[in-house]
Structure 1
Amino acid sequence: MSAGADGRASLTRVEAEVRAAALRVEHVEVELDLLGDALPTFGSRTVIRFASDVDTTFVDFAGEELLSATLNGRPLDLATWQRARIPLTGLQADNVLEVEGRMAYSSDGEGLHRHVDPADGQTYLYAMSFLDAAPRWFACFDQPDLKARYAFTVTAPPAWTVLGNGPAVAEGEGRWRIEPAHPLSTYFTTLVAGPYASVWGEHDGIPLGLHIRASLRAELEAQAPDMLAVTAASFDYYHRLFGIRYPFGEYHQAFVPDFNAGAMENPGCVTFRDGYVPRGRVTRTERATRAGTIAHEMAHQWFGDLVTMRWWDDLWLNESFAEYLAHRCCTEATSYALWPEFGILRKDWGSVADQSPSTHPVAGNAAPDAAAALQNFDGISYAKGAAVLRQLAAHVGDDVFLAGLRDYMNRHAYGNATFGDLLDAWTGAGAQDLPVWAGAWLSTTGMDTLDVEHTDAGVRLVAMAPAGGEARPHTVQVGLVDETGGLTVLDAVDVGTEPSAVVPVAAPAVLVTPDATDLAWAKVRFGTDGWERVLAALPGLQDETASVVVWNAVRDAVRDATLDPAFALRVVEAALPTSGSEIVCASVLGFALDQLAGVYAPVAERAGRAERVRAVAWRLLRSAPLGSDRQLVAFRQAVRSEADPERLRAWYSGRDLPEGVEPDPELVWSVVERWSALQTGTDLLEDALAHDSSASGQVHAARARARRPDPAAKEAAFRLLVEPSSAGAYELYATGEGFWAVGQEELTAPYVARYFGEIGRTAAFREGWALGQVATQAFPRTAADEQTLRLADDALRTDLAAQVGRAVTDGTDRLRRAVESLRKWS
């Protein structure tokens, strides 16, 4: 017996290339003993059959205990297990490796995660193997280009549901066998096990299953028809699009607790965060967002699962394509038109990432190891990549775009490929000059700026590259907004390779927008007097897509310190109440409250600006039809900005609510969280938790505790963030979210220096996603001053773990932008 490994070594690209060239993994048999689920560990035995052209390599094993390891019948020295690797020497042409150990259940959403539902005390398990977490639940050669055939044998309580990458066949009481039909990469192997509630269906011969923990059965059953309809429509769409039938047999979608990502594309068994099955009322916008995620993960079954990247620097191929295809699928095949959502949420997310110091090219990042690759799993890999692919489809034509994609799928099915292979497929389909296009868009960083100049001949459209960058081609459609709010969209024009283009304009316009159809990946501006024109035109502009472009420009200019946040708030007050889009209203109200009335406002003015945002929310609420989604969206923001604790107490008790608003568990908790931020009492929090002790209730309670303006509460919350604890990942994230509350700047001031001094040490007891996410959520985002920037810069000069360093880098950039704005406009 050997004790736990001393740290983990991140697999390097060089190591992966050497191992891939030398090994051919034929079959992996995994046996899991999940009985005694109250124990901190579970039994895992793996038998790997592989061929080798070398004498020496290593296998990945990140267990708690290594009980035995034999190679071709020869016992291995267990003491050689170091940094989650077992050295293998004396390899033969054909080999059998057996590894048995005790693996630790996780509480951070990676490896085999265990969740005990507070609602009923039942245990739920799921495996998350991305990006390098598979060795936390079984021994394997953990890299994407060593695909293998798998078989899983699972022993668990007989009453449990057991799911995986293939059909789970019962072999006796409490024993199941899962044999996926095709080779898999380690990073998308999974297991879902527990007393899950299920809804079953079938479409086009494909068995369908939806699963969630039993305490959310009613919510799943109520929302299942919509999810199954989106699933069926997406299958039909992708079958037509790819020309290849779904290859992985059954299709399960499991909504699991404490999930870090939105979802994970495990073939045949996709895992989602259970927040996609909300408690209480579900707005159409929320259903649309869920539909986009369902379509995104299904697209991965082809792009990512059927054909898999060779190394992590092509991660963008998976995510950009799934992002692009999901929005296309939902818009064309379901009742949810998602391109406005892509613009107002996803593109804004990506543009922030692309303008930060941590920006990186979409493709060709040459990640030296898996840990570095994880840092590029961001809005650039998703949103920018998808926006660029949308441009490419328009550039080469849909027929060429899809023909190349189908050829790529057929050539590399069940194997691995690179971006170069995809370019070859598109070129073979008739695309021209793709290396030039790829060099301009995929190998560069930063955003161009598209602006307009009014001339006697019309409008001059101007493209400016970022500092130090080269011009990139843009094909855009200029839009003219007249005095009634009507929009005229002109013919497409090319700009970028030439610095400007003159667009004839037949009639005067209140506002000229360079990108009325939101196809460009660029910062948009409106001329020397453009912001006054925006203030005049945006209240009447009813075209949702064009308004998304304008709102994104407002947000970007505030972050660039080229637009006074006080003026931006005037635009919100004038234009948002007339917007017809719920998703725009929700997104812009959130920006106004968190940014314009938060970090971009002088501390002394924050309360006054928040009151103005609250007034906008109430204008939206009062003008909305009773019981409508619009009314609910507005009331949610009104709650977040309410300053009267007694009014919040009344709402909590169900009194004085606006007609048409019905409280549900999530709305009740939002009231409790806001009430907790305004005074030091705990009676509402304790009462809410007594009535709702569910996992979601526990997370809300953690956020509410962290928001309390009480020194002892702040100290307890901070210690939770920077010290080891048994708290679940979601409770840690919520604690970070709640800690830095606007209006509590004096109370939290001592913790600014403590954050920078202590957050780096959390790498000693956290890893992966949780390490970076806690560091991100706990960043002192309300402390916009020079002293905080000095502390941040000092911290960045120390040796921080990659995930913490990325969190501090990005948080510091956001704060630096706010400080620059305050310096300029205050």
Structure 2
Amino acid sequence: YPWGKYDQIFVPEYNLGAMENPGLVTFTESYVFRGAATDAQREGRANTILHEMAHMWFGDLVTMTWWADLWLKESFADYMGAHASVAATRFTDAWASFANRRKAWAYEQDQLPTTHPIVADIPDLEAAKLNFDGITYAKGASVLKQLVAFVGEDAFFAGARAYFRDHEFGNTTLDDLIVALEAASGRDVRAWSTAWLETTGMSTLTLDDERATLVQTDPRPHRLRVGLYALEDGSLVRSCGIDVDIVDERTPVELPDADLALINDGDLTYAKVRLDARSLKAVERALSTIDDALTRGLVWSALWNATRDGKLSAVRYLEIVRRHAPAERNVGILAGTLANAAFTINHFVADADREDARAMWLATVWEGLEGAEVGSGAQLAWARQVGSAAAYANGRAGEIRGILAGERPAPEGLSLDADLRWIWVRALATAGDLSADEIDEEKGRDDTMSGRIEHRAALAARPDAEVRREAWDQAWNDLSLTNDHLSATIEGFRAGGRRDLTASFDADYFARIRGAWENRSIEIARRLVGGLFPQTESLDLVDGWLEQNLDAPASLRRIVIERRDQLARDLYVRSVQ
């Protein structure tokens, strides 16, 4: 360790998750949990701590020459966060969480029109600020995992040690690392780099109907495994795995008969995976019976990607969640799956079916809360999702009010701490079931910095046209708002997806964003432009702005283009339901 001391400080209202200052790492104070926390939250915190510790070498002892090689610190630190969690902590399922959450971030970012190579072209510092994204972090870590498999773990770390020894307290480029890894492994790392670090996008991997050919779009070299699982007494049991090296668009394979054929079993490569028809039927029936958390995470990931792409109907996906999420043992996978299901209802379900879907989802998560193990992380995950669902459907408002008021017992073992209370309070406020005075009373219970932020969000969430107008005006015009108070105001304005309360501001958004970008700090401007982007029923407004603002700052256009792409996906997926 090169820095003599290692201190950690937790900072209020920190713009970053954490920062790897040599010998003194600064973290957002949200990592100091003031209430109940799930093991997934603790695992995430451990990952961040280890990520920042890895930066003492990757980024601090040896620093990239220019921002184009930002991955030389962030991708490596992201990889080491998961690797060290598995090797040195109780969070031995860290790679399952990575596959289900971090890689989902990478897949989403890599499908945007603004995607970029891991080794990126960075013309200026403003562009660099926007490249702290899912490509640089999660995709980079994903392909590093494949690089470790390609050169071997011992050779990878031997090459890394030589790299640090040769360049300590200096600056490097991609070529410096390639030289070190090739010397340690004897493998052609340069060709691997060209295929993975200097290209954009991802392959999609499928098996043909006869399972005789592995097909990939956007061909790249992959070293992967196809896992074969059989249904035995209603459970999916792994029978074997077949290792495959592929380069071309079509690769012949010989696979034993199986109910589930899972491409990329073990998560060795970076690619979207599609389940064939027989495999989909098998996981519909028995996904939650699979013993291995990583395998379940990969299946959930495949289902989510298919839903996002309009290849799996939202209704069918939600039915799989309803059937198997209550039995999910990994709370990180559970929380991610519940969040994806909620997103599906509010973005992908057809307009005519959304109200019924929201009511069904509230019933589902309430049943999940009642059926969860007493005092478990799963119970807390379901309770939080009750709050999310109740903001869109008010079928349980009476029970929630009663529990908050102490008139009804909370589920046994559930910690109704300040954080959970605010989630439920905000839900009731959004649905119009709490008055301003009642929200003020909740603030009296929790008159802390966090409580004041939540109080602001709940007040702004009330379904009243004048309340939403006031929140809109404050967001754009109140220069005294701190970062977190601004975010709370934005969240309140958007709460409940109430287009009847927000659609009148659509044109005003596009009239304001360029001025905000030019006159506000980059962090405030990013929150305004990204957070208040309107969920319009067509692309006309955003396309008009992009056409009329070709000379706008590239970083501003990037945010708008990304939000436009996300809106276009929502509209497309809804149209094919």
- TM-score, structure 2 as length reference: 0.94
Aligned pair partner of 2:225 in 477, 499, 507: 477
Aligned to 1:536: 285
Aligned to 1:518: 267
Aligned to 1:573: 322
Aligned to 2:479: 725
Give CA deviations for 1:617-642 in whole Å, capped at 9, x if unaligned.
Answer: 23332332211111111111112212
1:472/1:424 Cα in 2 relative to 1: closer, same or farther (>3 Å)? same
Give CA deviations for 1:450-482 in whole Å, capped at 9, x if unaligned.
Answer: 111243xx64322221xxxxx211111111222
Match of 1:286, as an amino acid?
Answer: Q
Distance 1:638 1:356 in 2: 31
1:655/1:521 Cα in 2 relative to 1: closer, same or farther (>3 Å)? farther
Aligned pair partner of 2:244 in 473, 493, 499: 493
Task: Give the conservation status (yes or no) of the 8 Å contact 2:288–2:296.
Answer: no
Distance 1:477 1:441 in 2: 19
Q: What secondary structure, in the 3-state scheme, does the structure 2 residue paired with 1:359 have?
A: coil
Distance 1:549 1:716 in 2: 44
- Structure 1 residues 272-671: aligned runs within 5 Å: 272-337=27-92, 338-363=94-119, 365-455=120-210, 459-465=212-218, 471-483=219-231, 484-497=235-248, 499-505=250-256, 508-528=257-277, 530-593=279-342, 595-642=343-390, 643=394, 644-656=396-408, 657-671=410-424
Deviation, structure 1 residue 687? 0.9
Distance 1:616 1:585 in 2: 14
Task: Give the conservation status (yes or no) of the 8 Å contact 1:461–1:503.
Answer: no
Deviation, structure 1 residue 440? 0.4
Kindly name which structure, 1 or 2, has the bigger radius of gyration based on alpha carbons. 1
Task: Give the conservation status (yes or no) of the 8 Å contact 1:771–1:803.
Answer: no
Aligned pair partner of 1:772 in 512, 526, 536: 526
Distance 1:368 1:651 in 2: 55
Distance 2:284 2:552 in 1: 44
Give CA deviations for 1:142-197 in whole Å, capped at 9, x if unaligned.
Answer: xxxxxxxxxxxxxxxxxxxxxxxxxxxxxxxxxxxxxxxxxxxxxxxxxxxxxxxx
Give CA deviations for 1:49-99 in whole Å, capped at 9, x if unaligned.
Answer: xxxxxxxxxxxxxxxxxxxxxxxxxxxxxxxxxxxxxxxxxxxxxxxxxxx
Q: What secondary structure, in the 3-state scheme, does the structure 1 residue paired with 2:2 have?
A: coil
Task: Give the conservation status (yes or no) of the 8 Å contact 2:149–2:268.
Answer: no
Task: Give the conservation status (yes or no) of the 8 Å contact 2:227–2:238.
Answer: yes
The reply to whether residue 808 of structure 1 matches residue 560 of structure 2 is yes
Task: Give the conservation status (yes or no) of the 8 Å contact 1:640–1:670.
Answer: yes
1:697/1:765 Cα in 2 relative to 1: closer, same or farther (>3 Å)? farther
Distance 2:451 2:553 in 1: 32
Task: Give the conservation status (yes or no) of the 8 Å contact 1:255–1:273.
Answer: yes
Aligned to 1:57: none
Distance 2:260 2:493 in 1: 41
Task: Give the conservation status (yes or no) of the 8 Å contact 2:229–2:238.
Answer: yes
Task: Determine which structure has greater relative contact order: mean sequence separation of CA pairs < 8 Å that are 6+ residues apart, divided by chain length.
Answer: 2
Task: Give the conservation status (yes or no) of the 8 Å contact 1:538–1:575.
Answer: yes
Structure 1 or 2: larger strand share? Answer: 1
**Greater shift in the superposed pair: 407-416 or 535-544:** 535-544
Match of 1:690, as an amino acid?
Answer: G
Distance 1:735 1:802 in 2: 27
Task: Give the conservation status (yes or no) of the 8 Å contact 1:714–1:739.
Answer: yes
Q: Could you list the runs of 5+ residues in structure 1 that have no partner in the other structure?
A: 1-245, 466-470
Q: What secondary structure, in the 3-state scheme, does the structure 1 residue paired with 2:415 have?
A: coil
Task: Give the conservation status (yes or no) of the 8 Å contact 1:375–1:802.
Answer: no
Aligned to 1:744: 498
Aligned pair partner of 2:451 in 676, 687, 697: 697
Match of 2:71, as an amino acid?
Answer: W
Task: Give the conservation status (yes or no) of the 8 Å contact 1:722–1:759.
Answer: no
Q: What secondary structure, in the 3-state scheme, does the structure 1 residue paired with 2:8 have?
A: strand
Distance 2:330 2:463 in 1: 35
1:706/1:368 Cα in 2 relative to 1: closer, same or farther (>3 Å)? same
Aligned to 2:542: 792
Match of 1:357, as an amino acid?
Answer: P
Task: Give the conservation status (yes or no) of the 8 Å contact 2:242–2:255.
Answer: no
Distance 2:327 2:518 in 1: 51
Deviation, structure 1 residue 529? 5.2
Deviation, structure 1 residue 530? 4.8
Q: Could you list the runs of 5+ residues in structure 2 that have no partner in the other structure?
A: none
1:448/1:700 Cα in 2 relative to 1: closer, same or farther (>3 Å)? same
Deviation, structure 1 residue 557? 1.4
Give CA deviations for 1:184-242 in whole Å, capped at 9, x if unaligned.
Answer: xxxxxxxxxxxxxxxxxxxxxxxxxxxxxxxxxxxxxxxxxxxxxxxxxxxxxxxxxxx
Match of 1:387, as an amino acid?
Answer: S
Match of 1:296, as an amino acid?
Answer: H
Distance 2:313 2:153 in 1: 42
Task: Give the conservation status (yes or no) of the 8 Å contact 1:539–1:576.
Answer: yes
- RMSD between aligned alpha carbons? 1.8
Deviation, structure 1 residue 324? 0.3
Give the share of equivalent positions with the same residue, in percent.
37
**Greater shift in the superposed pair: 443-452 or 737-746:** 737-746
1:498/1:778 Cα in 2 relative to 1: closer, same or farther (>3 Å)? closer
Aligned pair partner of 2:429 in 676, 682, 690: 676
Match of 1:259, as an amino acid?
Answer: Y
- TM-score, structure 1 as length reference: 0.66
